[in-house]
Structure 1
Amino acid sequence: MFTILFTAIGRRVELIKAFQESLKRKGIDVKALGADANPLLASAGYFVNQVFPVSWVNEAGYIEALLEICHAQQVDMLVPLFEPEFSALDKHRQAFFNVGTFVLLSNQNALEICNDKFNTYKFFVESGVKTPKTLLASALSEDISFPMFVKPCSGMGSQGAKKVVCPMELESALRYDHNMIVQQFISGTEYTVDVLADFDGQVLAVVPRERLEVRSGEVSKGKTVDRPDIIEQAVAIVEKLGAMGPLTLQCMDTGSEIYWIEINPRFGGGVPLSIQAGVDYPYMLYQLAQGQKVQPCIGQYKKNFLMLRYDQAVYAEG
């Protein structure tokens, strides 16, 4: 039995089903568990073997509750899906290891770079990676040119991110939150790049996908693309970062240049497309957890493979 605990499961039904289906196809008994602050309203909670209520991430007892679940359920792998919990989980890796649970999360240095978008910008610049010029809101000069793009230094799902075209819009965007970055606006085609690295930081798989339509910060229509140039750059970025496990990178292609914008050290919302396109993330992670060597399969996925999402509902007694 291979037991996985997903945190903050919310709406991540596709991801959980992908893990269940992949491992079952390989003849592996899998138990998928979930944890959520509001399990009754977490649709993914109806697709796992069991869902456990936990406190909010910023409340006392969150880590202790996860440790108790991992110990009682003999969890082999903890898959965190909510960025605000990453730092705390990183600090308690050894405690999880002591109860037999591997935390699927990059190291502290990578997390500090990824979880603060200004740190990500500095990492790109220091690594010679092309990226939009970025300033802290607290360090703006009067000679900035519009349009610009503003977003929080940390956050998920494009919350608080917007294009601004004049000083008045910029002032309005920054009025209630000065923990923002202001970024050169890049116009072009947006790509999300799903990357998986082994526990030593070697990149195993890279799938670039075009974001055809986005709803509430998450891709609703996407397509895998054949872009060896994006793949090559993504491999170099992740290996320079020293990250491991799943990562999601964002870039913009202007037609003449590729600008890298973000690195998120977790599964992206659209990663089920990459899995369905032939990159078996769940089985590869199972192999790594068993101490097996996994050979890279970079570039081996279905190209021009579409994902068209639609709404489904779960009905349950309240």
Structure 2
Amino acid sequence: MRILFIGSRLFNDVAEYASAMGVTTILSESNPDAPNLELADSHHIVPRGMEGPLEIALREDVDAVVPLIGVDGPLRDVAWLKDKLETDHGIPVVASGPEAAEISTDKFKTKEFFTRNRIRTPEYSLIDSPADVTEFPVVLKQREGQGGSGVMVAATPSDVRGYLRASDHALMEDYIQGREISVEVLRWNGETLPLVAVDKGETRVDGLHPLKKVKRAPAIIRGFDGMEALERASEITELLGAEGNTDVDMIVSEDGKLYAIEVNTRPSGTRYISEAATGINPMHCLVDMAAGNWKPGKIRRKNHYAVEIPVGNPGDLESIMPEGASWVLHGPRNHMRLTVRAGNPEMIDLVLKKLGDLRVHRGQVI
């Protein structure tokens, strides 16, 4: 089995697993200084875009392609590659196709998709003048962007004026007070597997970046049914026709209503905490899909409790880990995150307390 992986930044998440399955790993990357190149059986440096990976896939006679792209920008090009390879050459590409990519990478088209399919989402409109905003707070976004970039919660007319000076237009949506929820959904060959509802913290007027928030899984929120979130995320993914790994972002309002916010048709930033809570590694599942071995009906879901905490550069954490907890550090230097798996929520609370005490001792801000 020969698989082409596109993008090296996330390749370390799948390299060992793919090799253990007997897969010959071929890697394409546009940056010659990118990490993880040495982990593949062979790698190729190509120009940006999908023409290079297309040529490599055909020249290397690969059996499947797995794009490992965690940003939105190239997703439409990936969808073009999928269409080309699957239609003309019968080579499966574990990613979403053109229609799903077009909708998911444009936030306004995503909102129209929700409305068209009668999926509850905050009221929205496109604006280009401060006079278009009459009630506050509201959320202002650009049609394209991810990870909180270009997002502002405007509390005053002055906020709107400042936002529109920097960007002459915006997608405006109602601000929903509640908690942010994220669900990863795996889908391939018509079979769908939602993983777990991840609690990404309260919605905040200050617009705190998602990477600076503590996340918990499964989400335990008063008045919230986690199964409803899994079902809604699966419904959205299936209606969209997305494949591979899809991340559905939602908000649970204070009165218990579930609002769909965004859809990301790519590997998710919640993949570590999703695996910690369920025992299902979404990145390994992409390899299984490519190899024809993905059988969601036979996957055993585990029921753990997990937390993901921004820690910067934490140093030695062994001393604060309670017996029975397992953990992993991930992310770039100075922006590392700690993901912990435990058998009960009390152990998670203990980790948070000990980490807070450690930061106080070191004079760090919690």
Give matches, 1:165-244, under 5 Å. Answer: 165-200=155-190, 202-212=191-201, 217-218=210-211, 221-225=214-218, 227-244=226-243
CA deviation string 1:83-127 (max 9, x = no partner) = 222222323435434567432222222222211111111111222
Alpha carbons of 1:35 and 1:292: their partners in 2 closer, same or farther (altered >3 Å)? closer
Any idea what SS the aligned residue of 2:74 has?
Answer: helix
CA deviation string 1:28-69 (max 9, x = no partner) = 1245554444341x345465555543334xxxxx32222233
Greater relative CO (CA pairs within 8 A, separation 6+): 1
Question: C-alpha distance in 2, partners of 1:67/1:179?
Answer: 36
Of 191-200 and 205-214, deviating more is 205-214
> Identity of aligned pairs, percent?
22
Q: Which structure 1 residue ranges, 5 or more long, are not aligned?
A: 57-61
Question: C-alpha distance in 2, partners of 1:217/1:143?
Answer: 26
Amino acid at match of 2:196: V
Name the residue aligned to 2:136: 146
Question: C-alpha distance in 2, partners of 1:243/1:116?
Answer: 15
Q: Is contact 1:205-1:299 (8 Å) kept?
A: no
Name the residue aligned to 1:78: 66
Name the residue aligned to 1:59: none
For 1:66, which of 19, 28, 53 is the aligned residue?
53
Q: Is contact 1:228-1:299 (8 Å) kept?
A: no
Name the residue aligned to 1:254: 253
Alpha carbons of 1:74 and 1:278: their partners in 2 closer, same or farther (altered >3 Å)? farther
Amino acid at match of 2:46: V
Name the residue aligned to 2:336: none
Question: C-alpha distance in 2, partners of 1:269/1:242?
Answer: 21
Name the residue aligned to 2:356: none
Alpha carbons of 1:63 and 1:242: their partners in 2 closer, same or farther (altered >3 Å)? closer
Deviation (angstroms), 1:77: 1.6
Alpha carbons of 1:64 and 1:195: their partners in 2 closer, same or farther (altered >3 Å)? same
Name the residue aligned to 1:91: 80
Name the residue aligned to 2:13: 18
Question: C-alpha distance in 2, partners of 1:118/1:192?
Answer: 19
Of 205-214 and 250-259, deviating more is 205-214
Question: C-alpha distance in 1, partners of 2:162/2:27?
Answer: 39
Greater Rg, structure 1 or structure 2? 2
Any idea what SS the aligned residue of 2:177 has?
Answer: coil
Alpha carbons of 1:173 and 1:294: their partners in 2 closer, same or farther (altered >3 Å)? same
Alpha carbons of 1:22 and 1:205: their partners in 2 closer, same or farther (altered >3 Å)? farther
Deviation (angstroms), 1:168: 1.7
Amino acid at match of 1:307: E
Any idea what SS the aligned residue of 2:195 has?
Answer: strand
Instruction: Report how many aligned residue pairs link the two structures.
Output: 300
Deviation (angstroms), 1:263: 0.4
TM-score scaled to structure 1, two decimals? 0.80
CA deviation string 1:157-205 (max 9, x = no partner) = 22111111111211211223235311111122111111111132x3123
Q: Is contact 1:248-1:264 (8 Å) kept?
A: yes
Amino acid at match of 2:177: S
Any idea what SS the aligned residue of 1:209 has?
Answer: strand
1:306 paired to 2:298: no
Q: Is contact 2:82-2:97 (8 Å) kept?
A: no
Deviation (angstroms), 1:290: 3.7
Alpha carbons of 1:178 and 1:34: their partners in 2 closer, same or farther (altered >3 Å)? farther
TM-score scaled to structure 2, two decimals? 0.70
Alpha carbons of 1:150 and 1:48: their partners in 2 closer, same or farther (altered >3 Å)? farther
Question: C-alpha distance in 2, partners of 1:207/1:236?
Answer: 15
Question: C-alpha distance in 1, partners of 2:31/2:5?
Answer: 16
Q: Is contact 2:12-2:36 (8 Å) kept?
A: no
Question: C-alpha distance in 2, partners of 1:137/1:46?
Answer: 48
Any idea what SS the aligned residue of 1:192 has?
Answer: strand
Q: CA RMSD in A?
A: 3.2
